[in-house]
Every structure is written in structure tokens, then in C-alpha cells.
Structure 1
């Protein structure tokens, strides 16, 4: 049985890889299908990175951004052909440049805007965990044999609310010109690394699959990675940009947290998310970045949420990001703001590593800019919505915009669901022990 499972998994991996990388490449108005999986050699901006006159500016950027990367080693290896592998390794660690305005923030984000009003209660609002548990709409305890710690099961109306949020978000985004794409959750680890996530053994945030399989695969942390991988080795015509894609996927995060503010389902190991991904011309990326923020603001405002928009400092930027905005929703039960979503302008950081280009009107070939934004991350949206829309009798009012997607249901009450049995672990007898009857 084990042999058969491994055989089928290998076949699945090959089929999936073929699907991801067999993509129409748009050049000169023609569709050319790439038939071979090819991980390109990164095209780093060596004119900038290997110029000693830029050393201090790059070093200052590294120091402000978690001090990952060593520009001196890059310069040391830059003219030594025998050190080419080390040279490329060091280049890969250098973070993207940072927007000049953001460099002035030090370690503190800047509040850009507050939207909506805090809801006022004539009773003490409950936290999501207590509220949802009392209504029998969630289970987070004793899931060891199923999914381990930091996991959850949504039940009844809350599971329907999850689906309603997904459908509502997708419909909104498609009206903004986004194209829906279904993506795999298992992708090559190298694609994840080139998108900018940490995959090394010391600080990995990624779940890697067993190395006994054909290639090095991992579980995707966000649909952004699969979408970027889908576009790898692609050249677009300028009139096809901006390319706007949206995907719904499960997201797998190996990260944990001991922070009290991130308790419950605020930070979990797997969750559902609707992700926006855009490729644009470099001259358009600032506008597209603002467009993503406007879309997120529209989505959350339409659901009656109070939130604030933060321009994040260098210490909160991942390696790919040039600039990042966070949307922090007010969670009245917790009495604090929690991150609902973010959007990032990654400029050409990812496109240089994945060979995603476009042909300009003049016929020149340039790297696109890539941008991404969370449209709906289910766990945190549920926390914010349920705490905001709870009633005095500890039920949950369904937001007006979601009622049609909930089959007209306007109130989430206690679910008619039987208590679920807690799992018990039985000690296994060793082969040399005999069970006594």
C-alpha cells in the first residue's frame, strides 16, 4: 500500500508541475506554449548590487530590514568566477530596496487612515473563541489525531459564513477585472524560495514534504507563490498589463507564536485565503499598489468593519517587499486591532528570480513588477466579523451583504450539533510484550 501511495504521489507531482509551467507565453501577439519545466537562473540587478559606490546604501537597507544579507560578501565574490555559486547564494539573500519614505519610520508603522466607526455595545462583548464555542460553531480542542495544535474545525453556520465570505470576495474582485485561477497547494520549494520566503532549516516558515519523493516540494504558504510559479519564464506584451489574478487556496504556515494577542485562531498552521496577484509595468506599480489598497478598503468597509491602514516600517518588510500596507481590523471582544490583510509592492524582486518579463511598446524586454494583496483571510475575518456583529444574547448577526449568500439566514444561533467525542490515545504494546487478558 505504501509503495502504491508513493507511486501515485509521484505521478501527481509530475502532472501538477506540468500544469504550472505549461503556460501560453505572449510575445508579438502569438501564443507559444512552453513544454519544458525550467527553473531559470535569476537575473539580479548586478549593475546596482555589485557597484562599490552603492555599498553603504545597500548595507543601511539591510540593517533596517532584519539584517539578512551580506553586501560585502557579494562584492568579494563578484569578480571571482571560481566563486560563482557562492556569489549567487549571497545575491539571493539581499532584500529588495525600500521605499524612501518608509526608511524614515524606523521600527514604528505610520497610521495612514482609519475607516468606519467602532461599534458600541450596551453589554460586555465576548471574544470570538468563547462566542463561537458557546454556539457550537467551532472546535479547536483535542484535534491532535486530526490536525495538531493551532488548528480548527468550523461547524454549521460558521462553515457557511466562510463560504459566503469567499464567494462575496471573489465576485467583488472579478468586477475589478481579476481573473479567477485555481492553484495547487503543493509546489516546488525552489519557487517558494525565489518568491522570498525563508525555507532553510534554521528559520523555515514552510512545511516541506518528505525527501523520499522525486523532487523537493513544499506546502504553499499563500496562493501568491503558485501564481508566481505559474507565470515563470513568461514574457507578456505591454498591452496585456496589468495582469490581475485571484486565487482561493489553503495556506500552510509552520510559524508559531506565544503572544497572547495571537491566541485562538488568529495565527494557525493552515487556513483559507483569497489572494490577489498583479503583474504590471514598472511605471504602473505605484498606482496598482494604491488600487489594491482601495479594493481592500472597499471590501472591509462594505462589511461594516472598523479598521485602520498602516504603512509598515522596514523591520516588518519581508525580503521581496518594497513597500507594504497592513489593514488592521478592530476586534471589540479582544479590545485591540489585529491584522486582517496586507498588500505589498515587490517591484522586480520576484520577476528577476522567476524570469517574468514584458515587451515594451518600443520592443524592449523588461522585468515586470509584481504585487500581492490579501482580499480575505478567513480566520481573522471571522474573528472581526463575529465580534463586531455579536448580539446581547450572544448570537451573531449576519452582515447584510452576506445574507443572500447564506440562503437568507440573518442570525447565527446555537447549532443543533451533538458534542464531539474527545480522542483518546492508547499505548501501543511493544512486539516483545504480551497482552494479558
Structure 2
């Protein structure tokens, strides 16, 4: 009988990998970096390499020894849809304490709120913030979102070209977020520099440097809003209270910091990959251009086929899962990069279907910790497609010779120049 190591279609982690904890079976320490969304490729379907981690011979749970999910250590990994759903929904077994706790690198002890808070306290913070992120709130904000997007498109529509990733996708979601929070637009470039260092620079000293700077800025911002309140979300947090009790300093910075961290990158990366697909598939452009009633379901399909973040949770107690002993304090990461393409959940998962129904993907996580800004992200993308195909009713393509390499994660695409013929019929 062949061993798991012989059957598994993925190699074991090499000698250069960090050591795994003693209770982890060596044959489950696998090199799945290619499926973690950190290895660039130039495929038409950038997430297709992840299919192998759902192979029948691939273990239902394995150990990834490299730092992942914002931690400085490895984690158990699940790759199937049903297992990922358990990680997100079983709050008795999996904790979000310590998730996205980059600030700990700089010696900070406050949690990232609300993501880093477990139920029932998590619900108090969501209730406090939810009024700013409901569909009704988005209806009120949509005219401003439309104004920002439409104004930016008009600046290049007649030129017949734009770097959709760097000059547009990188900018408009951040403008919307700064507008929502009340941050000055003059901080745009500095914010993106800080965020890149925190999320993507492997050098710990650079992460700490950026963390120290941004947290000092955010604490100053909170103090300014306490002295001079206004109608923006940042002021609401700085002067906020829950059940009549004013927020503590740690709660104020924990909420403001987490919104800052989550508000700068995700929609930008989504836009870059979305337009890459459009540019490679003119028939898809034509279909949306001619039938805008498909925009809502198409946006959901773009989200499903572009899972940017693999989220982690901390194990609360010892338990056995798929024949493997998991210990309290271990971390489990959900490879959304795989689960969103699980054929047990999605028929023809690599087929982009703008009319797909029951599209319950994990791009925005799941359970009680589903992304707070989900409605905002969806509204931005829907308005973008509506405005784009109204203001640029021409077929567009990637500029000849341009690099279409993508990192299937938040790093995504730095530059993607697209062109169109303004004189087209």
C-alpha cells in the first residue's frame, strides 16, 4: 500500500521551510505556497493551479509551515468548501482573536475591532458600526460614489487608454474610503506606502516602522475629531459610545485602525483582476454592455473568481479533524483560493457565469465575521461597471506587449494598461 507522501500530488515542504510543531505529522507538512495566492502567474485563470489541493489524493487538512494570515508562524490549512465553512461558522471551536493583529509587531496590545473580537462582544461592535455599512446607507452614499467614479472616467475616456490598475483601480476605492472616514486626500500616497509595507514587505523592521507611523497618525486623527467633531465615520468612532458607555481609547484606535487596514486594498485589487478578465474576453464585455441587468450577478461572480484573502482562525481546544490531532492554540487557515472553486459547491467552477445563482462564495469570509464593508465593496463595483459601460461604450483590450502577470491575492496587478478605439461604432 502506498504512503500518503507517495499519493499526494504536492511535494512535502523542503529543508528551507520553518519547523512545524512537534505534534504535526511530517508527511502533512506540504509546500502549498502556489495555492496561497502569493506566487505570480500569467494564466487566463490565475486560480486554476489551486485545483490540485482538492485532488482526491490530497489530504483534507495539511500543515503550511510558512507565516500566513498575518501571523509570524504556520498553520493548518483546509481547502474544501465545507471545511472552510466550518472554520468561519463554528465559533465554539475557532476564534478570531489575534486575526489581522499586525499592530502586535509594534508592541501594541489593542485588538483589531470588530474582526479580532469573538461573540458575544463582537456583536456589540458590529451593531455600533453597521448603520454606516447597510444597503440603506449605501443608497445614501451612492451619488457620491458615482460622482467620484464618473469624474475619474471622464478624465481619460476620450484618450482611449488608461492604466486601469495604477491610475484608476488603485485610486477610486481609496478616494471613496477617505471620503467616508473624513481622512484628507493629501494622505493618499502616504497611506498606500504604509499599507504596502505592513501587508507586503517581508522585512519586520519596515513593518514596524510603518505601523508606528500610521498608528501615531490615527491617534492624532482621533484626537482632532474629538476636538472638532463632524459628520464622517471617523468622527462617529472618535466620539462614540455603546449602550451609553463611551468607547475606550483602545476601542477607538482598534476600530479606526482596522477600518484603515481593510479600506485601502481589497477593492483596488478586485478592480485590477476584473478588468484583466474583461480585456481578455471581449464577449463578456459585450454581454454586460448590452445587458446591464447582469451587473449585480456579474459582480458576485467576479468576487467568487477572485478570492484575494485566505483567512485564519485560532483553535480554542484540542480536537480531531479528518483523522488529524489539532491542538488548542494552533491556527487554521481557510484557502478561499481553493474553496471558491470547489465543484461540490459550484458547477463548472472555472466557467465565469455572470448569471450564476446561489453564489455563496468566501471572498468576503463568512459567519458572524463576514466582511463589514461587503455592501460598500459591492456597491462600488456595481456603480463602476454601470458608469464604465455608459461612458466608454467601446471594446477595450490589454495594450500590446503589456505584462498581464497577476499575483492572485491582495498584491494582484500593479500595472495594467488597456486601450480602446474612441471612434469605434
Which TM-score bucket, shorter chain as reference? under 0.3
- Give the helix-richer structure, 1 or 2: 2
- 1 or 2, which has the higher strand percentage? 1
The TM-score, its normalising length taken from structure 1, stands at 0.23
Between structure 1 and structure 2, the one with the greater Rg is 1
Higher normalized contact order (CA 8 Å, seq sep 6+, divided by chain length): 2
